[in-house]
Structure 1
Amino acid sequence: MRTLTLDLLRHGETTASGIYQGRTDVPLSEKGSQQMRQALSKGVSWQRILCSPLQRCRCPAEDAIGRSGLALQSEDWLQEYDFGDWDGRALADVYNEQPEQVDAFWRDPQTNPASGGERIDDFSKRVLIGRDRLLDAGDSHLLLVTHGGVIRALIGDCLGMKPAQWSRLKLDHAHFTRLNYYTDRDQVWPELVCCNTATLPD
């Protein structure tokens, strides 16, 4: 039996608060950069670092590899959920225009996708296909610098949670989640080790 440990790190605070960030490529704030430096200051025995190509994930990941010498891979499947027509717009403005649709989305995003946005089933599929490639790759311990939606999709799959329940998961900026996957032939047993922690267990 083989074990794959995935450490999932949500990006730090950005310069754009109160908007649907999604695919909108906003940078980290100075506070967010400091949050990520702190989160990545303790050495962990990762074999590789993978990151979303969006700069709020890519830039701190590049800084981390500069200090560690690890290989870095930018992966499209680690990008945040695409909010479509809402992406980059203020939360308040979208709600004022489409209150019923916004309420329906947060109540059950699987049935009520964001206007012009990614279907939650498609979002989950791309995340899990990316995860499955890692299970097949032969690594044992990886860091993924990514977004809250991606982390929620992976936790949701691990715990059998429906997308309507994902918003119950609190995920702070620059905090870690650890998942273990035990694989044997075609079988996989996932395990949530910790969630939303500032530091990882030894």
Structure 2
Amino acid sequence: MGIYEDLLKATGDPDGLGGIRERILAWMLPGFMDRAEVIEAATEYVEGRELLTGPQVEQLVDELWRQRLDEQKDWPERTDADKVAAAFAELDAAGIVARMNFTCCQTCGSTEIDDERPADRPSTGYVFFHSQDGERLADNPAHLFLAYGAFDIPEPEWLDGVTAIGNQVAAVLRAHDLPVTWNGSSDQRIQVGPLNWQRRLPTARQNS
């Protein structure tokens, strides 16, 4: 019997415990938070619910973390998550500031992305997805919705500049064998998916 089954027996609240488990997986499966960050988020989530203690939360996170590490052993060498990371790295090197899991929402991301511009080379535009989009990567299949834009373009040419950035982003994603849906309009985010999102947990990436 695992930790979850033990806690289920102890609490007698399958709905409450199941909800906590789903929240933990939503933080963990996208692969951007380390173990300590997941424990911190889960501990804050259960505060005031009087269902689990801090040590019980940590035990549950540890069990789910170990299960995910075991699953990773059977993953292909290059996953969809690896393809997205490679595409973002290529875009970033080409002068499009590319950030994954960036800020809490699109409004904050669009405001703060200018601060990410490197000082040693020019940047023509940007692309990112925010942490709310990142949490949805726990779904299977998963879909990403990418925000993008242009830097330093005067108003008359701005829309054309944004569209050009969108075309460049879409082309690089497709070159990395990723499914892209976009109508070519500057007012629509670029959709990437369906994806089988398998991003290795931070400890596994650090040790590899």
For normalisation by structure 2, the TM-score amounts to 0.24
User: Higher helix share goes to which structure?
Assistant: 2
Larger Rg: 2
Q: Which has the higher contact order (CA 8 A, sep 6+)?
A: 1
TM-score in terms of structure 1 length: 0.25
Higher strand share: 1
